[in-house]
Amino acid sequence: MKGFHTLLVAVAVVGGGALWYAAQRKPAPASTRTPDRGAPPPVAATDGFRGFTVGSDSAAVEVVEYSDFECPFCASFATVQMPVIREQLVAKGKVRWRYRDFPLPTHAYSRYAALAAQCAGEQGKFWEMHDQLFFRHDWAQTGKNPRSLFRDFAKGIGLDLDRYDACMDGQRYAGRIQASVEEGDRLGVNGTPTFFVNGRRFEGRPTSDAFTALVDSLTRQRKSKT
């Protein structure tokens, strides 16, 4: 009996220690990707979905952004630079912007947020949800389950909540997100946000001024060729 009590105490101490360790452990840096982390690997979709876009189909320049809704750098870009880009480049027909999901496995709710945006996209409100997720980014700092908050976002942007719930519960677009991740992997994306401008990786500091200069340059080149 004494041996059993010793075993019981040992299990309690080891288990309690493991819980304490888990609670103390800091998350890995937000902008780097560690491929062996435990993100669920759903089957990649084969529906050929290429990401939600904003801007004219006839724009001379296309920017593809690989982003993660939980990433603070992505949120900073979306809230500081993107509004200017939308106004100065997208709205003027110079750029078509394509958003691709690249949820980092170091983040607890990245895929869930990506799923929420996809489910909003199903109802034609991807960009509205995109803005909610980035502009109200507190959820990414608290570490708390954002399910009800995302549902509030969905309600706030006027989604049909029954359809949204069904979409989320069924993980309807998990495969699309995985396909986007695999595509990013093939392209060598190793952090977020990563940009490709007309297929070439953008290496500079992602500011609205930098994109404006590059887009103007590419547009001029295209005009001079024609």
Partner 1 sequence: MRRRQAVVLLALGGLLLALYLSLYKLGLIGTLQCGTGSCEYVQTSRYAELLGMPVAFYGVVGYAALFVVGLAGMQPRFANDRRLTVLLAALSSLGLAFTLYLTYIELFVLRAVCRWCVGSAVIIAAIWALSMWGVRRTD
Q: How far is the CB of 112 from partner 1 (least distance, A)?
A: 5
Closest approach, Cβ 224 to partner 1, in A, equals 50
Per CB under 8 A, does 4 bind partner 1?
yes
Region binding partner 1 by CB under 8 A among candidate stretches 93-101, 108-116, 124-132, 218-226: 108-116
Nearer to partner 1 (CB atom), residue 75 or residue 174: 174
- What's the CA gap between 78 and 60, in Å, rounded? 22
Nearer to partner 1, 96 or 137 (CB): 137
Q: Are 181 and 66 in contact (CB under 8 A)?
A: no
Residue from the set 2, 23, 57, 138 that interacts with partner 1 by CB under 8 A: 23
Q: Count of CB atoms within 10 A of residue 94's CB?
A: 20
Separation of alpha carbons 55 and 203, rounded Å: 23
214, 197 in Cβ contact below 8 A? Answer: yes
Per-residue tokens: 57: 């189909």
Q: Does 13 bind partner 1 (CB under 8 A)?
A: no
Q: Does 169 bind partner 1 (CB under 8 A)?
A: yes
Q: Is 165 in the site for partner 1 (CB under 8 A)?
A: yes
174 part of the interface to partner 1, by CB under 8 A: yes
Give whole-number Cα distances, 8 to 2, 4, 13, 19, 22, in Å.
10, 6, 9, 16, 21
22 contributes a contact to partner 1 by CB under 8 A: yes
Q: Which residues contact 160 (CB under 8 A, 6 or more apart)?
A: 123
Q: Binding partner 1 by CB under 8 A: which of 83, 124, 170, 204?
A: 170
Say which residue the tokens 């800091």 belong to: 26
Binding site for partner 1 (CB under 8 A): 1, 4, 7-8, 11-12, 15-16, 18-19, 22-23, 25-27, 37-42, 106-109, 111-112, 142-147, 165, 168-171, 174
